[in-house]
DNA sequence: TTGACGAATGTAACCGCTTTCATTACTCAC
DNA sequence: GTGAGTAATGAAAGCGGTTACATTCGTCAA
């Protein structure tokens, strides 16, 4: 209401005129303040303030061949796991000069490739991608990207640049070991979507069973359909009809675990006595459920924050942190749902 | 591997040279194909393909004073409700020339104002904001934005431009009426966060109680803390200790409802006989729970899709759809958790 | 006093595309 | 055949910043 000047967007020229210096000086005051005398710098700051100047990101990007965007490619919008990651990403980017440009690959490597091309075209300040299962073309693109690249959600031997995550394989092995340690002798596996990360969890489950001398029998039940609580109920039903001896289930995520628990209640199967249940990710609800559900805690928010921090560090040319691959680990949070006498 | 040409990013100049026309013609072939002869157009298309040309969005935006970004401002990253909205938004934007630029206000109107300024600076193709509770400054900015503006999640009398959502007040009234119709005489209210939309639901609850001649007593229990399943359990506990006569709860979202249900189980309170539970939004888990939980279904994905569609229509200068305000309504999905004998 | 040097600032080219205006080549009515 | 009108294309001026390079000016050692 007060200021009509907000209308005809103020540009750097206006600020320069207002102060009585050239646009170059204003530009420098913004990008490399130490090159401008304190007095002028202060007057410029004041002018920017009173005029309400905001730089045009397009012009900036064009002139400097570098945008202030951090591109982030995630597989899914609706998966809660990534909501937490995003939370960390936005929190870490907040207050910096960078803003986040988000893309969703819908678990399709091809779609991921297209997004990568699109984003790289913007000359981003950094790029965050999920996992390690890119197409060859994407690998090439990311390998020669001239900005920091961070892979999240996993650890692995050959990062394009840097990596922050944990081992899905190890996490599944430890969770399976937990079930066995609790006395379950016929644990089953419930999986949905079955993207690469989920597959690695399945491998971990299988290897641990084998290592402990147990048979997996017909107790691995998976589908490529997207995960949901309803699906968890359904899969448990299927599993029990195929393999009635099942005495526990390791679910590749918490939604499935919750669904399995509801289904167990419907069938008057006692949890944890007759059926142990272990989820994955340890979303907030797991501790609140009745009975409380065991899960593998993962550090999702921290992965998001860490990824952005890695990029900021790289841009600030801080000494590259000792290790290019940061393993955040995981933690089996044992709760009632697997607390069997022994 | 194959193509080294991906490296030194191809520009329009290269395409033009390759075809033997001016950059102006290439530009036209891309923006206004009908101005270019079919023969030339085809050759340009071919050249773009073989060279793998991708336009530079910054240059485009700078030259045309218009970016291909649709700015979206949501209150929260982690709230599942908005995940669904985003899902719709990304789905609708997919395949168009527009991409989405997301910002989170963390329920802070001031933060929303800053984001609005920032985004408007990019001369977006359109902007989507959540709700109707903007600061005066934001109102002014949006009112004079020279691009389509869509408000989502609510309906109201004075849209800046267009609006798509539903009435939270009405939804809460109808849900409350449902509880009363089921024979509950002492329904309580569980609320978290208490942002403006939540407040409107509380008003609806209160007005309906009053309209039906019931007292609310001390049965409205709210907190400004963010919602969670755990909090639902906690709030129900609090409510019952303050108002033991409570025979049903209307929860402002499904997380609280789920938490309330778990707490009821812990206390051996029978649902729905001793305690009716109604959630809000009808997330997927509600139908899968045991007992299945009643909720108010909202059309979140549709709001996201619809908002983008409105912007696309406006940009295509289609006749402005009859009504600037589109009410998607809601639907009380009655399930076991409120199925009392009568 | 004088020339060298560094700090502060200005000048102007340029980033890659869009768009106005001018130009060219036709088509067609008269 | 001629001038008007139209479709297709090119030339060039920006869009709003950044940055290499030039210029100015004050400081200081010789």
Using a pLDDT cut of 70, give the percent of chain B over it: 96
Residues of B in contact with A102 (CB under 8 A): 100, 102
Tokens of B231: 């909090």
Q: Cis peptide before B272, with omega less than 30 degrees from 0?
A: yes
Interface of B with A in 6-25 (CB under 8 A): 6-7, 9
Distance A57 CA to C9 C1' (A): 25
Give Cβ neighbours of residue B271 (< 8 Å, ≥ 6 apart).
Answer: B261, B264, B265, B277, B291, B336, B337
Instruction: Nearest by CB to A77, from B90, B259, B290: name it.
Output: B90
Residues of B in contact with A105 (CB under 8 A): none
Identify from B118, B231, B288 which residue to disrupt to test chain A contact, counting A C-beta atoms within 10 A and taking the largest count.
B288
pLDDT, tens only, A51-70: 999 999 999 999 999 999 99
Distance B232 CA to C22 C1' (A): 72
CA atoms within 13 A on the CB side of A147: 24
CA atoms within 13 A on the CB side of B332: 21
Please tell me what DSSP assigns to residue B76: -
Give the chain A residue nearest B75 (alpha carbons): A87
pLDDT, tens only, B72-107: 999 998 899 999 999 999 999 999 999 999 999 999
State the Cα–Cα distance between residues A259 and B284, nearest whole angstrom. 11
For chain A, which residues score pLDDT lower than 70? 1-8, 318-322, 341-342
User: Taking CB atoms and an 8 Å limit, are A1 and B140 in contact across chains?
Assistant: yes
pLDDT, tens only, B175-221: 999 999 999 999 999 999 999 999 999 999 999 999 999 999 999 99
Q: Is A124 on the interface with B (CB under 8 A)?
A: no
pLDDT of residue B253: 97
Distance B45 CA to D4 C1' (A): 35
Going from the N-terminus, what domains does chain A have, and what CATH number goes with each?
A: 4-55 (1.10.260.40), 66-166+300-329 (3.40.50.2300), 168-298 (3.40.50.2300)
Query: Using the CB atom, is residue B321 less than 7 Å from strand D?
Result: no
Q: What is the mean pLDDT of residues B93-122?
A: 95
pLDDT of residue B321: 61
CA distances from B331 to A297, B101, B210, B296 (A): 36, 31, 22, 6
State the Cα–Cα distance between residues B313 and B333, nearest whole angstrom. 32
Q: Cis peptide before A272, with omega less than 30 degrees from 0?
A: yes
pLDDT, tens only, B32-77: 999 999 999 999 999 999 999 999 999 999 999 999 999 999 999 8
pLDDT of residue A322: 67
State the Cα–Cα distance between residues B198 and B188, nearest whole angstrom. 15
CA distances from A42 to A34, A45, A74, A266 (A): 12, 5, 42, 70
- pLDDT over 80 at B250, yes or no: yes
Identify from B53, B57, B122, B141 which residue to disrupt to test chain A contact, counting A C-beta atoms within 10 A and taking the largest count.
B57
Q: Is B208 on the interface with A (CB under 8 A)?
A: no
pLDDT of residue A316: 85
Distance B29 CA to C24 C1' (A): 20
Q: What is the mean pLDDT of residues B250-263?
A: 98
pLDDT, tens only, A255-289: 999 999 999 999 999 999 999 999 999 999 999 99
The overall average pLDDT reported for chain B is: 94
Q: What is the mean pLDDT of residues B146-151?
A: 94
State the Cα–Cα distance between residues A45 and A38, nearest whole angstrom. 10
Query: Using the CB atom, is residue B42 less than 7 Å from strand D?
Result: no
Burial of B226 (0-12, 13-18, 19+ CB in 10 A): middle
Of A184, A162, A310, A315, residue with least CA distance to A250: A184
pLDDT of residue A323: 82
């Amino acid at each position: 209401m007060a200021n009509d000047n907000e209308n005809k967007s103020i540009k750097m020229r206006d600020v320069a005129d207002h102060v009585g210096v050239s646009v170059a000086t204003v530009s420098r005051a913004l990008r490399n303040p130490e090159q401008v005398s304190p007095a002028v710098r202060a007057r410029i700051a004041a002018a920017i303030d009173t005029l309400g100047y905001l730089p045009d990101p397009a012009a900036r990007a064009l002139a400097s061949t570098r945008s202030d965007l951090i591109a982030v490619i995630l597989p899914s919008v609706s998966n809660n796991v990534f909501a937490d990651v995003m939370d960390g990403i936005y929190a870490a980017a907040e207050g910096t000069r960078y803003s986040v440009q988000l893309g969703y690959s819908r678990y399709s490597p091809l779609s991921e490739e297209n997004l990568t091309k699109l984003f790289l075209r913007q000359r981003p300040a950094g790029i965050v991608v999920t996992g390690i299962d890119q197409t060859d073309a994407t690998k090439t693109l990311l390998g020669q990207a001239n900005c920091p690249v961070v892979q999240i959600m996993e650890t692995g031997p050959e990062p394009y640049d840097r990596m922050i995550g944990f081992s899905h394989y190890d996490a599944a092995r430890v969770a399976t070991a937990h079930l066995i340690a609790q006395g379950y002798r016929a644990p089953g596996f419930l999986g949905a979507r079955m993207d690469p990360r989920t597959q690695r969890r399945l491998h971990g489950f299988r290897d641990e069973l084998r290592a402990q001398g147990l048979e997996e029998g017909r107790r691995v039940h998976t589908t490529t359909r997207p995960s949901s609580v309803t699906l968890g109920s359904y899969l448990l039903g299927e599993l029990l009809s195929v393999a009635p001896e099942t005495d526990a289930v390791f679910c590749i995520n918490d939604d499935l675990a919750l669904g399995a628990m509801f289904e167990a209640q419907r069938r008057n199967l006692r949890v944890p006595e007759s059926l142990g249940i272990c989820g994955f990710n340890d979303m907030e609800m797991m501790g609140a459920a009745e009975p409380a559900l065991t899960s593998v805690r993962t550090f999702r928010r921290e992965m998001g924050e860490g990824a952005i921090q890695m990029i900021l560090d790289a841009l600030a040319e801080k000494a590259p942190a000792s290790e290019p691959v940061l393993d955040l680990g995981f933690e089996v949070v044992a709760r009632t749902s697997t607390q069997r006498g022994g």
